[in-house]
Amino acid sequence: MSIKEDVKEFLTSRRAKVTPEQAGLPTFGDKRRVTGLRREEVALLAGVSADYYTRLERGNLAGVSEQVLEALARALRLDDAERAHLFDLARASTGPVRGSRRTAVSKVRPGVLRILESLTTPAYVRNARTDILAANDLAFVLYDGILDRVRLPLNVAKFLFFDHRAPGFFLDWETVADDAVAALRAEAGRNPHDKSLTDLVGELATRSEEFRTRWARHNVKYHRTAVKRLHNSLVGDLELTGEAMELTGDGLVIITYTAEPDSPAAEALRFLSNWAPQHTGPPAPQNSTP
């Protein structure tokens, strides 16, 4: 899909999510033929003409001022991730600039690997296209055969939509799948000229109806923290908190899983931590750079 179509679908989908009541607009009991706000209502709220907003919703964001984008974000009640995505789409609408054709990072520095191994909780490093590039021993055990040292990287999105084990491992598969697609959609807005990302989205869309349905929603989300319910064959079901720590200069994220103190999940992690050294073997060479 072109940037112009992405803009059109994003603005249309956000407009459909805001009711007149939420926006503080009177309806006078009229029968509405559209879900959410009308174009002219968004224009009124944003302080622009209806014709101008219509042009924007047709995908013409090139050259739009920051003030207008901020007004649109307020009118459409965008959250932080949606607002950032709107600005990313506006930048992409001006065309590729020098240095914009970035590719998702595929290497992990030795220093980052040392941090990973020093953590006492399950942790892994992934890039913006959801490739898990490295993991510590406890993460390998927690992921119960899904992560394999000799088969990294593992793409989380492909695992979710192509691997039959995914719904049994992620007990809230629907939510995890929604979040993964929203993260990819946000990255596609930030970096629309990454061919590896474009190829990944194309493969997912071609092979998975579940992915296509979610991609068409144009939802975006920051991956910061979330409760994850996982199933491990050794300890059963666990409820853990995932935390994302961005390595901004590296283009990578460290994901850690922790459990509430004195909870069954904390006891399960202690068991896995004791079990791991005897069964995971020595670390294989990781995907790293000097």
SS (H, E, C) the chain: CCHHHHHHHHHHHHHHHCCHHHHCCCCCCCCCCCCCCCHHHHHHHHCCCHHHHHHHHCCCCCCCCHHHHHHHHHHCCCCHHHHHHHHHHHHHHCCCCCCCCCCCCCCECHHHHHHHHHCCCCEEEEECCCEEEEECHHHHHHCCCCCCHHHCCEEHHHHHHHCCCHHHHECCHHHHHHHHHHHHHHHHHHCCCCHHHHHHHHHHHHHCHHHHHHHCCCCCCCCCEEEEEEEECCCEEEEEEEEEEEECCCCEEEEEEECCCCCHHHHHHHHHHHHHHHHCCCCCCCCECC
Which pTM was predicted? 0.89
Question: In the chain, pLDDT over 90 holds for what percent of residues?
Answer: 76
Question: In the chain, pLDDT over 70 holds for what percent of residues?
Answer: 91
Asked if the model's pLDDT at residue 51 lies above 60, the reply is: yes
Which of 89-98, 100-109, 206-215, 281-290 holds the top average pLDDT? Answer: 206-215
Query: 110-279 belongs to which CATH class?
Result: alpha beta
Sheet holding 154-155, edge to edge: 154-155, 131-135, 123-127, 252-258, 236-247, 225-232
Write the pLDDT tens digit of every residue in 16-49: 999 998 888 887 666 777 779 999 999 999 999 9
Residue ranges of the domains in the chain?
3-93, 110-279
Are 103 and 251 spatial neighbours (Cβ–Cβ below 8 Å)?
no
Banded model confidence at residue 97, pLDDT cuts 50, 70, 90: low
Write the pLDDT tens digit of every residue in 135-155: 999 999 999 999 988 889 999
Q: Which two tokens stand for residue 10?
A: 């994003």
DSSP β-bridge partners for residue 240: 228
Report how far apart, in Å, the C-alpha atoms of 256 and of each of 39, 134, 174 are.
43, 12, 21
Report how far apart, in Å, the C-alpha atoms of 74 and of each of 4, 10, 182, 223 are.
21, 15, 21, 22
Nearest CA to 37 out of 17, 54, 66, 57 is that of 17
Query: 3-93 belongs to which CATH class?
Result: mainly alpha
Are 215 and 181 spatial neighbours (Cβ–Cβ below 8 Å)?
yes
Same fold, 3-93 and 110-279: no
Write the pLDDT tens digit of every residue in 158-205: 999 999 999 999 999 999 999 999 999 999 999 998 899 999 999 999
Q: Which residues contact 126 (CB under 8 A, 6 or more apart)?
A: 132, 133, 156, 252, 253, 255
| 253 exposure class (CB count in 10 Å sphere: 0-12, 13-18, 19+) | buried
Asked if the model's pLDDT at residue 101 lies above 90, the reply is: no
Report, as an integer, the average pLDDT of 237-242. Answer: 96
Which residue carries 């144009």 as its tokens? 218
Q: For residue 150, which phi and psi values (nearest 5 degrees)?
A: -85, -5
Asked if the model's pLDDT at residue 285 lies above 50, the reply is: no
Report, as an integer, the average pLDDT of 102-107. Answer: 73
* pLDDT score of 222: 87
Report, as an integer, the average pLDDT of 45-70. Answer: 95
